[in-house]
Amino acid sequence: MTSSYDQDEMLALLGWYQAMGADAAVGEVAHDWLSRGDEAPGAGFSLPKREAGSAINPSPAPAALPAASPSAPRPAAVRSAGTVETGRPRAATPLGASEAETGARRIARSVDSLDGLEAALRDFDGCGLKSTATKLCFYRGAAQADVMIIGEAPGRDEDLAGKPFVGRAGQLLDKMLAAIGLTEADVHITNIVYWRPPGNRTPTPQEALACRPFLERQIELVAPKMLVAVGGSAAKEVLGAAEGIMRLRGKWREVTVGDRKIPAIATLHPAYLLRTPAAKQHAWIDMLQIKSKL
Ligand code: URA
């Protein structure tokens, strides 16, 4: 891809990539996939080697939050959880899902503070998203809070800032919270995965599973009075339900985390509300539920 393209064509191509969600370089070397003929992108991709000493404890531990597969308010081209809708295979996570979860659970259990949990996440290589993300996005807001908000995954702005919900969706989330009298200092905001999925695709169930022990430990350390899942994939992951967000939203349930039962509710994702302002009426009803519970 060189001299046969003029500058305008190159800019148009870049614009197209960006519109398709490919808005960040994930490698230092550009690959000319067209030169590979029929070979699928990702074929021959080798997984990073595990370092000696990072052996994963093989004893399985039960997950406290119920398992669920994600679905999310994402652009159509990247919406499906298992396969990007181009039909291309995705790169695998560095560890098998259960290996990663077991290792994560052992590590997460060993820490007693949010700082310790953050340090453990920085060292954790069991979630494949880490290799393409710029920064870890752990949390924003108060370390201890009555309300813990759990979204789907960092996007581009969050990946650059290293904090969840700082982009346009985050600004709307802040307005929604302000409408019921809450500021950033009153809430703890995080996501079901701690690194940005490439192209803002939905995190895979494996990626969510690898992060879940950390999320559960985070919930224990924050000790919120309620969990608010934001968007379809967070709702499924947190509530352990298979239904879509329109069915899940606005109803209180109880989830067990460690030895606590915590009330949890789901609401619509602010990114969806930005695209579908008419749906704000539903989100407002959910926010009022949260307010009255407080
Ligand atoms: N959307 C999310 O679900 N989480 C973020 O942190 C940002 C956008």
pLDDT of residue 64 exceeding 60: no
- With respect to residue 154, please indicate whether it lies within any of the assigned structural domains: yes
Range of 128's domain? Answer: 97-293
Q: What is the SS3 assignment for 39?
A: coil
Amino acid letter, residue 165? F
Q: How far is the CA of 111 from the centre of ligand 1 (A)?
A: 25
Q: How far is the CA of 150 from the centre of ligand 1 (A)?
A: 9
Mean pLDDT of 198-213: 94
What pLDDT does residue 208 have?
94
Q: How far is the CA of 156 from the centre of ligand 1 (A)?
A: 9
Q: How far is the CA of 158 from the centre of ligand 1 (A)?
A: 7
- With respect to residue 168, please indicate whether it lies within any of the assigned structural domains: yes
- Regarding predicted confidence, which is higher, 237 or 78? 237
φ/ψ bin of 128: left (φ > 0), alpha (ψ from -120 to 50), beta (otherwise): alpha
What pLDDT does residue 40 have?
53
**Roughly how many angstroms between the first and final C-alpha of the chain, as a whole number?**
58
Read off φ and ψ for residue 67, nearest 5 degrees: -75, 150
Q: Please state the atom number of ligand 1 nearest to the C-alpha of residue 163.
A: 6
- With respect to residue 79, please indicate whether it lies within any of the assigned structural domains: no
Q: How far is the CA of 138 from the centre of ligand 1 (A)?
A: 11
Q: Please state the atom number of ligand 1 nearest to the C-alpha of residue 189.
A: 6
Q: How far is the CA of 185 from the centre of ligand 1 (A)?
A: 18
What pLDDT does residue 33 have?
60
Mean pLDDT of 98-106: 81
Residues 224-245 pLDDT 10s: 999 999 999 999 999 999 999 9
pLDDT of residue 72 exceeding 50: no
Pocket of ligand 1 (CB under 6 A): 151-155, 158, 164-165, 167, 169-170, 191, 231, 271
pLDDT tier at 268 (50, 70, 90 boundaries)?
A: very high
In whole angstroms, what is the distance from residue 61 CA to residue 41 CA? 35
Q: What is the CATH number of the domain that holds 106?
A: 3.40.470.10
- With respect to residue 50, please indicate whether it lies within any of the assigned structural domains: no
- With respect to residue 146, please indicate whether it lies within any of the assigned structural domains: yes
* DSSP 8-state code for residue 250: T
Tokens read off for 201: 């695709």
pLDDT tier at 165 (50, 70, 90 boundaries)?
A: very high
Contact 128, 153 (CB under 8 A): no
Tokens read off for 90: 């995705």
What pLDDT does residue 25 have?
65
**Ligand 1, atom 7: nearest CA belongs to which residue?**
165
* DSSP 8-state code for residue 69: -
pLDDT tier at 21 (50, 70, 90 boundaries)?
A: low
To test the ligand 1 pocket, which listed residue (129, 158, 171, 189) has its Cβ within 8 A of the most ligand atoms? Answer: 158
pLDDT of residue 49 exceeding 80: no
In whole angstroms, what is the distance from residue 98 CA to residue 108 CA? 15
In whole angstroms, what is the distance from residue 199 CA to residue 71 CA? 15
Mean pLDDT of 7-30: 73
Buried b (16+ CB within 10 A) or exposed e, 251-277: eebebebeeeebebbbbbbbbbbeeee
- Regarding predicted confidence, which is higher, 16 or 121? 121
Q: How far is the CA of 239 from the centre of ligand 1 (A)?
A: 18
Q: How many domains, in total, are found in the chain?
A: 1
* DSSP 8-state code for residue 95: S
To test the ligand 1 pocket, which listed residue (165, 174, 215, 274) has its Cβ within 8 A of the most ligand atoms? Answer: 165
Which range has the top average pLDDT, 50-64, 84-98, 113-127? 113-127
**CA-to-CA separations, 185 to 144, 189, 237, 267, in angstroms, rounded:** 9, 10, 25, 20
pLDDT of residue 67 exceeding 60: no
pLDDT of residue 87 exceeding 60: no
List, as one string, the DSSP characters of 128-188: GGGGT-SS----EE-SS-SEEEEES---HHHHHHTSSS-SHHHHHHHHHHHHTT--GGGEE
- With respect to residue 28, please indicate whether it lies within any of the assigned structural domains: no
pLDDT tier at 80 (50, 70, 90 boundaries)?
A: very low
Q: Please state the atom number of ligand 1 nearest to the C-alpha of residue 157.
A: 7
- Regarding predicted confidence, which is higher, 30 or 252? 252
- With respect to residue 13, please indicate whether it lies within any of the assigned structural domains: no
- With respect to residue 35, please indicate whether it lies within any of the assigned structural domains: no
